[in-house]
Chains A and B, each alone.
Chain A
């Protein structure tokens, strides 16, 4: 992340959920100290365990992982587009046309709203909310934003990020079973697609309708939490 960009400001909407996340994380904590050995405190205990490094269990499994994926991809899109909008306002990318700034801010706020909605479902299911966009693709996309020099770079990044969000949300529709989650995916995916269409128009690209609408979708294995 570049200095001077208030990246986390765009996650402020998620801040109220952070407390809930912390509480939920506590409830997920491993059990406390092991029970005393059989025969009482003075009895010989079991052999000392071999010291090994055990990978941490994923915080999200099953359908919760799909909810977390929805939150993460929406959070990442909201974060990146929000950073781009802030950088444009600070003159980082030269003279940015007002229509581009308007696009970035508007799309960012809707992705953040989607992330909040996914997190509400996670918290209601007793799972921690996702903060930010903890995905394997996040560092590469962040580097791309950091390297952006002009408005066209921002729009190109927006077109790609929103395409990933739309494909991912479309793909997870098939894996979700809870009606509220299916309805959220059904309502959010087309909006992400509309963001992509608008970015494409501003870039002068011809309209597209991908033959495979889930091409480029992220799976739950892309989650880093």
Chain B
């Protein structure tokens, strides 16, 4: 990997800290019966499993980029959102809570990665981070869709495959609310930097 400029290090470390937190949270949610267990809705269980796998690749790629830029790899969770997750996890009571917590983290992660693409200096690293932004955005789209379906009070709508005739029309578009992916919730570059 081409070496990044030193200014890229805090950007990559903050991205790593968000990936760490999101991956750890997904693992915790997977351990819940209605997250990854036997009573979980299939799309929720599948999304958590797919997310853990993709976030593992993001962790590896961001660590490699950080080292190439001459920085120390961030392995701690994001300091702003870790307490939020710590407080929220014990209150998770069902699939709606699982989706809500995951969505909160994915939105911040995706927005941060999208902003990072514009801020990073090395084209190859930009492309790698853009790929992970896309993965996070895919999960956000599914979480938004699942959230909307669960909000109807009819959990059976969140099935694999879904009953297309039963789905509300809005379920076709709720997963992509913005023409361009927003970045106003992106974490500042130094939020998760190694101190």
Among residues 200 to 221 in chain A, which have CB atoms less than 8 Å away from a CB atom of chain B? 201-204, 206-214
B153 at the interface (CB under 8 A from A): no
Q: Which residues of B contact A213 (CB under 8 A)?
A: 130-132, 134-135
From B57, B131, B139, B164, contact of A97 by CB (8 A): B164
Contact for B179 among A110, A193, A203, CB less than 8 A: A110
- Indicate if A164 sits at the interface (CB-CB under 8 A): no
Determine if A175 and B123 form an interchain contact, defined as CB atoms under 8 angstroms apart.
yes
Contact of B137 among A151, A194, A202, A204 (CB under 8 A): A194
Instruction: Find A201's partner among B43, B165, B169 (CB 8 Å cutoff).
Output: B43
Chain B CB within 8 A of A173 CB: yes
Residues 180-204 of A, flagged 1 when their CB comes within 8 A of B and 0 if not, give: 0011111111110111111001111
B117/A201 in contact, CB under 8 A: no
B38-75 vs A, Cβ < 8 Å mask (1 yes, 0 no): 00000100110011011001000000000000000000
In the complex, what's the smallest C-beta–C-beta distance from B1 to chain A, in angstroms? 12
In the complex, how many angstroms separate the beta carbon of B68 from the nearest chain A beta carbon? 15
- Given A194-B141, A207-B47, A99-B167 contact (CB < 8 Å): yes
Establish whether residues B114 and A185, one from each chain, have CB atoms under 8 Å apart when the complex forms. no
Partner of B164, one of A99, A174, A183, A206: A99
- Point out the residues of chain A lying under 8 angstroms from B135, CB to CB: 193, 209-210, 213
Question: Which of B142, B161, B165 has a CB less than 8 Å from the CB of A203?
Answer: B161
**Do A174 and B138 have beta carbons less than 8 Å apart?**
no
Chain B CB within 10 Å, residue with most, of A101, A113, A185 = A185
List 5 A-B pairs, minimum CB-CB distance, nearest first.
Answer: A204-B161, A213-B131, A103-B172, A190-B137, A209-B54
Give residues in A with beta carbon < 8 Å to B: 97-104, 106-107, 110, 113-114, 117, 151, 166, 170-171, 173-175, 179, 182-191, 193-198, 201-204, 206-214
